[in-house]
Amino acid sequence: MRRLVACLACTLSVGLAAATAPVGDSWSGHYGLQWLSASQAGSRVVLAKAPDADPGKLVEQYQSDLVRWTLADVKTPAETVILRRFLAAEYEGLGWAALHAAGRIECLDARHIFVCRTTPGTTVKIGRDGPMQESLLASTGVFGIVLHAGAFELKKE
């Protein structure tokens, strides 16, 4: 009887977790966050679909895409950031316009942080060709950068 109850509880919890991600929303979920710098400890985060933005509260350049997500650390869920999809100019600014046009990268932005998804194992070059260009290996396919803190990878749990 205990096994049946445990099995039922597991089944319900998996069903509820799957139900939290809206259909067609491949971003939402729980992730393990691992900093690429060994000096920072990892954590667990939740990326979730948020209500669409109010176009009346946005500057014109952001009114064309109102879809939003939130990102929060599991330990401090009240401290969330709102993410929106990259604009075409943002892909261009990082040297990723061709990758995006080919459907090989998609990114979300929150001004001081961005999260991107690409094919697992892809080496992503950041910036224009030249001596300042950097690269990172997106082992899991989902990576991000926090301004003045560094790069991280997310692994869906």
Structural domain spans, the chain: 23-156
pLDDT string in tens for the chain (157-residue length): 333 333 323 333 333 333 354 567 899 999 999 998 877 888 999 999 999 999 999 888 888 888 999 999 999 988 999 999 999 999 998 889 999 999 999 999 998 999 999 999 999 998 778 888 889 999 999 999 998 888 999 999 9
> How far is Cα 57 from Cα 63, in angstroms, rounded to an integer?
9
pTM (2 d.p.): 0.80
Reported as a single tens digit per residue, the pLDDT across 55-75 is 999 888 888 888 999 999 999
Pairing between β-strand 142-146 and β-strand 113-118 as defined by DSSP bridges: antiparallel
Two tokens at 140? 């899991």
DSSP symbols for 3-70: HHHHHHHHHHHHHHHHHHSPTT--S-EEEEEEESSTTS--EEEEEEEEPPP-GGGS-GGGTT---EEE
Reported as a single tens digit per residue, the pLDDT across 86-109 is 999 999 988 899 999 999 999 999
CA 46 to chain centre: 9
The three-state secondary structure class of 98 is helix
The three-state secondary structure class of 89 is helix
